[in-house]
Structure 1
Amino acid sequence: MKTQSTTLDITKASSSRISEVDFDNLAFGKHYSDHMMICDYKDGQWQTPQVLPYGPLSMDPSSKVFHYGQAVFEGMKAFKDEDDKVWLFRPEDNFKRINISAERLAMPAFPKEYFFEALETILKFDKDWIKTGKGNSLYIRPFVIGTENGVSASPSSEYKFIIICCPAKAYYSNPVKVTIAQKYSRSADGGVGYAKAAGNYAAQFYPTNLAKEKGYDQVIWTDANTHEYLEECGTMNVFFRVGDKLITAPTNDRILDGITRKSIIALAEDEGVTVEVRRVSVKEIVEAAKNGELKEIFGAGTAATIVPFLGFDFNDEYFELPQVENSYGARFKTRLQDIQYNLAEDKFNWTYEVK
C-alpha cells in the first residue's frame, strides 16, 4: 500500500515477517523489522525519503563506498514501556553526531525533519517488533554511503541515507576480559576516531581477533603516539573506578563522543560521585590494580549499555578485578534503563516519546 505524507513517500509492507523471529533467542543484528527508510542525495540535494518494506539494494560495482570507504553510521535504540508506549533515548544527539561524522568524510548533512519523520514512521509501523521488559529493544541503525559510480579518488556526488532496525537484547550477556593494546591503535591525532566511520571498526577487527586468540573478549585501545594512555575499549567508551572516583578519558579527535558515556557522567554527578574526565595512564591503572584501589572497570555504549569487566591483561600479566557490592556499573545501568523504559522520572529530559 503506497501513501504520501508531508515529506515522505510511504509503501507499507503487505505482510509482516515477525512470526519468523524467536524473540527469546535473538542473535544481535541477525533479524530486521519490516520497514526501512532510503533517501537519495543527487543533483546537490536530498530527494524525498522513502519508507518501504525492508529488502536488498541494487548498486553499481563502481559505487564509491566500495572503493574509498565513504560510510558513516549511528546506533540508537527504541524501548517500549508497560503501557505500550515507545521511547527513544537522546535521539537529537544521534542525529547531530551522524552529521558530524558525515562532515568529516566530506558527505552532506541530512535534514532533521526527514530524519525524525522517517524514524517515527518506521517505529509506528514496526511497533510490534519492540518488546516490553528490560533488556529488550529495537536497535536502530541509520547510515550513509557514497553511491556515485566511478573509481576516481574523490568524494561521491551521490549518497544514500538509510535506516534499518533489528530487535535486540544485550550485546554482551556476560562480563568481559580485556587486554590493553601496546602495538595497534584504534585512531590517531587528526584522524577520524571521533566519527562513527565504518573504516574505524574494520581496522579494529584484526587486533581484536588476536586478543580473542589469547582468551580476551576485547581490547582497551591506547593512544597511537606512546601507548601510555587508555582511550576506548572495542566499540565502547570505558570507565575506571579508583577508590570512589570514576575516571574516563576526555573526548577528542580520537575518541567517540559516546551518548551512553555522557549519560553515565551526568548520573554519577547527580549522585555526588566524583567524576574525573582526564587522560588515564596505563601505569596509573596497573598500580591501582596492584594496590587494591582499582574497584571496577566497565564499558559503555548504545548496543552494550554498560558491561562490567572481569579483569585485564597488560604485559602478559592478568589483573582480576574484585567483586564489588553495589558497583557503580550496576547502579548506573539500572538507573539508565529505568529512564529508558519509562520506569523512573527523566529529570534530564533525555527521553522522546514516539506518538
Structure 2
Amino acid sequence: MSSKIEIKRIDKSKIDSVDFNNLPFGSVFSDHMFTCTFKDGKWQNPIIEPFAPISLSPAAKIFHYGQSIFEGMKAYKDAEGNTLLFRPLDNCKRLNKSAERLVIPQIPEDVFMDGLKELLKVDEAWIPTNEGSSLYIRPFMFASGNGFHASPANEYKLIIATAPSGAYFAGKVKVLIEEKYARAANGGVGFAKAGGNYAAQFYPTQLAIEKGYNQVIWTDDNTHEFIEEAGAMNIFIRINDTLITSPTSDRILDGITRKSIIQIAEDMNIDVEVRKISVSEVIAAAQAGNLKEMFGAGTAAVISPIAGFGYQGSDYDLPELETPFAGILKKAITDIQTNKAKDPYGWRVVVK
C-alpha cells in the first residue's frame, strides 16, 4: 500500500516556530496529514498532504446526522531514535468496531497502518523527545457524502492528523460522581468512539467544573448506583490492595490502556477484579479508610490520579501514598512505550 500513497510535502515546515519544551495538549499540529476517501464502494486516493482546512458541502451528512468516529494514539522516540507505536492494531480494530455501529465503511488494516507509518516517516521530526511528551495521533472518519435524507452517506473520509503534545492533565484532579446525567445507555453507542458521545458529556462536565471539580465520574444510566467511567477515560479504584475496574459493555469503552493496565497489574501480582462497583461501596471504603486510590486510564493521560471526589454534597480526599499503584503502573506502561523496558506482550511496534 505504501508505494501507492501519494505524498505532497509542505513548501516550508513550521516546526521552527514550535516550543517543544512548552507543548499544550493537542493544540499544535504537525506539517502533514494522511487522507483517504471512500467512494464508489471502495477506499481510494490515499494521500499525505499538508495539514490544512478541508472543504465540505453544507449538505455533507456529517453536519446533519453525526456519522463521525475517532481514535487516539501516540508515537514515541526511543534513545536510539526509533519511532515507536503502542498497540496500533488494537486502535484499528476499535475504529472498525465503531465504524460498524455507525454504518461507516470499515478501513482495511493495511490501508490504515501503511498510511499511519508513512505519515510518521514524513513528520518524524515532529515526534518530541522530552520526558512525558509524545506525538498524539488522531485518526478520524466521517460522512462526507451529501444529502438531507436521514440515511447513511455514500462517501466518507479517513484523516489521520498528529499533534506534538505534553501532559494531558497537570496537577491534582478532583471529580464529581454524577447523579443525574448518563454518558451512555444499554443498546446505544457508548462502546464506540463516536464524536456525539463526547459532545453529550460537555454539559454535565461544565456543571461539575462550575462547582469546583475537574471532571465527572459517570454512573450507570438506570439507577446511578454503579461507577462506570471517569470523564473520557476508564476508571480504576483501589480498595486496600485490590484494584477494581468496571467490565466493558454497550456503555463502556474497551480502553486499550485499560487492557494494558489489567495485564501488567496481574503480572505484578496485584489483585485485579473486573466487576461492577457501586458508589455506596466506594463511599464506605472511603469512610473506613480502605479507599487508597482512584485513577483514570486512557491514551491521552495514560494514568491520571484522582485526588478527591464529591458526592451528594460531601467531599472525600484520597490519601497521598508513597508508592501508589498509579505511579508504578504508569511507569511500567510508559517504559514499554518508549523502549526503556522489555515488551513481553508484543505491544510495541517499530515504524520502519
Over residues 175-207 of structure 1, what are the superposed CA-to-partner deviations in whole Å (9 max), with x where a residue is unaligned?
200000000000000000000000000000000
Match of 2:72 in 1: 75
Distance 1:43 1:195 in 2: 26
Task: Indicate if the aligned counterparts of 2:247 and 2:275 stay in contact, CA closer than 8 A.
Answer: yes
Aligned match of 1:64 in 42, 61, 65?
61
Distance 2:52 2:96 in 1: 25
Match of 2:333 in 1: 336
| Cα shift at 1:30 | 1.2
Helix, strand or coil: the match of 1:30? coil
Over residues 285-329 of structure 1, what are the superposed CA-to-partner deviations in whole Å (9 max), with x where a residue is unaligned?
000000001000000000011011111001010000001111000
Distance 1:294 1:275 in 2: 15
| Cα shift at 1:14 | 2.4
Match of 1:135 in 2: 132
Is 2:253 aligned against 1:256? yes
Computed over aligned residues only, the root mean square deviation of the Cα atoms, in angstroms, reads 1.0
Match of 2:322 in 1: 325
Distance 1:33 1:143 in 2: 16
Is 2:201 aligned against 1:204? yes
Q: Which has the higher mean CA deviation after the structures are superposed, 125-134 or 275-284?
A: 125-134
AA paired with 1:318? Answer: D
The change in CA–CA distance for 1:227 and 1:5 in structure 2 (over 3 A counts) is: closer
**Unpaired segments ≥5 residues, structure 2:** none
Match of 2:169 in 1: 172
Match of 2:231 in 1: 234
Is 2:9 aligned against 1:18? no
Is 2:93 aligned against 1:96? yes
Match of 2:52 in 1: 55
AA paired with 1:105? Answer: L
Aligned match of 1:287 in 284, 293, 310?
284
Helix, strand or coil: the match of 2:265? helix
Distance 2:207 2:2 in 1: 50
Task: Indicate if the aligned counterparts of 2:87 and 2:348 stay in contact, CA closer than 8 A.
Answer: yes
Helix, strand or coil: the match of 1:49? strand
Distance 2:166 2:338 in 1: 14
AA paired with 2:227? Answer: L
AA paired with 2:155? Answer: E
Match of 1:275 in 2: 272
AA paired with 1:328? Answer: F
Helix, strand or coil: the match of 2:159? strand
Q: Which has the higher mean CA deviation after the structures are superposed, 235-244 or 110-119?
A: 110-119
- Percent identity between matched residues is 55
Over residues 251-289 of structure 1, what are the superposed CA-to-partner deviations in whole Å (9 max), with x where a residue is unaligned?
011000000000000110000011000001000000000
Match of 2:346 in 1: 349
Is 2:222 aligned against 1:225? yes
| Cα shift at 1:6 | 2.4
Task: Indicate if the aligned counterparts of 1:36 and 1:165 stay in contact, CA closer than 8 A.
Answer: yes
| Cα shift at 1:9 | 1.6
Task: Indicate if the aligned counterparts of 1:139 and 1:167 stay in contact, CA closer than 8 A.
Answer: yes
Taking structure 1 as the reference length, the TM-score comes to: 0.98
Distance 2:217 2:2 in 1: 46
Over residues 131-184 of structure 1, what are the superposed CA-to-partner deviations in whole Å (9 max), with x where a residue is unaligned?
214311000000001011111100111100000000011100112000000000
| Cα shift at 1:5 | 4.9
Match of 2:210 in 1: 213
Structure 1 runs of 4+ aligned residues shifted over 4 Å read none
Q: Which has the higher mean CA deviation after the structures are superposed, 244-253 or 42-51?
A: 42-51
Taking structure 2 as the reference length, the TM-score comes to: 0.99
Distance 1:132 1:23 in 2: 9
Q: Which has the higher mean CA deviation after the structures are superposed, 25-34 or 252-261?
A: 25-34
| Cα shift at 1:8 | 1.1
Task: Indicate if the aligned counterparts of 2:98 and 2:193 stay in contact, CA closer than 8 A.
Answer: yes
Helix, strand or coil: the match of 2:285? helix
The change in CA–CA distance for 1:239 and 1:189 in structure 2 (over 3 A counts) is: same
Q: Which has the higher mean CA deviation after the structures are superposed, 92-101 or 45-54?
A: 45-54
**Unpaired segments ≥5 residues, structure 1:** none
Match of 1:146 in 2: 143
